[in-house]
Amino acid sequence: MRFSLFGERNRLQACLQLCGAICLGVALQLAVYAPSFAQEVPGGCGVLKVGHDYRPDRYKPNSTFPTQRSLANMVEGKHFTPRVEALIKGESTYLAGDISYTLNAFPNHPRALMAMAALAEKEKTTTPAHSGYSVECWFRRAAQFAPDDPMVRMLFSRYLAKTNRLTEADEQLAVAASLAGDNPLTQNNVGLIYFDMKNYEKALIHAHKAYQLGLRMPALPDRLKSVGKWTEPIQDSPSDPIRNTE
C-alpha cells in the first residue's frame, strides 16, 4: 500500500509538472510572437510589455498565428470558453485567471473586458480574486494599448457610469465619439450610453448624427421619445439609408 501511494504521488507530481510546462510553453509562445514594447500604465496599473490587437484589421500576423482568428481560437479555446465568459467556472485556473490571460494576450478584447467587470460586480469588489489588476486598470491598459479603439472607450465609460463616476465616463465617451467619425453604428451606441447616463441632450446629438449618416434603427429614438426628449433631425435623410434588417 505504501508503494502504491508513493507511485500515485509521483504520477500526480509528474502530471502537475507537465501541465505547468504546457502552460508555460503557451505563455512563452504568445510572448515570442507578440509585438514587444514597454509602456507604464498610470494609476499603478503595471507595465504593458506584449499584446495583440483584437481587431482583425489591426492584428499583426506572424508565422505561427498568421491571422487574428488563429490566435484568438487558441487563446479563447483554452481560457475564454463560453463557461468562463458566463462566469460559471474557470478552465485552467480561477475565473479571473483565465480572463486575465485573455486580456494579457488581447488587451482590447471587448468581451473579456466585460466579463472582468461582471466578475467584479458579482464578487462585489473592484479587483476580482486572482485578477492581478483592478477592473479600472484592465480598462486603462486596454485604452493605452489601443488608444484608437472606440469600443474600449465605450465599455470603459459604461463601467465608470455604473460606479457613479459620470464626469470620467463622459470624458471616455467624448473620445469614443471622436474616434467614431462617420461610423453610424458607433455614433448610435455612444448615444445609447449617454441615454443610460440620463444625459438626454448628448444622446439626442448622437442619435441625429447616426440618422444623418444613414442609420435607421429605432431603439435610440424610441427611448428618447419615451422620456419626451426626441426631436426630428433638421437635415434631410440620405438617399440610401442603412436599415436595421433584424
CA separation for the pair 114, 122 (Å, rounded): 12
Q: How far is CA 14 from CA 3, 17, 155, in A?
A: 16, 5, 43
pLDDT in tens, 155-176: 999 999 999 999 999 999 999 9
Between 238 and 18, name the one with better pLDDT. 238
**How would you label 18-50 residue by residue, b for 16+ Cβ within 10 Å and e otherwise?**
eeeeeeeebeeebeebbeeeeeebeeebeebeb
The model's pTM: 0.81
Average pLDDT (79-94) is 95
Cβ partners under 8 Å of residue 245, min gap 6? none
| Burial group, residue 165, by CB count within 10 angstroms (0-12, 13-18, 19+) | middle
Instruction: State the greatest distance between any 2 C-alpha atoms of the chain, in Å, as a whole number.
Output: 86
For residues 201 and 208, the answer to whether their CB atoms sit within 8 Å is no
Question: Cβ distance 230 to 204 under 8 Å?
Answer: yes
CATH code given to domain 35-243: 1.25.40.10
211 pLDDT exceeds 50?
yes
pLDDT digit string, tens, across residues 58-74: 999 989 999 999 999 99
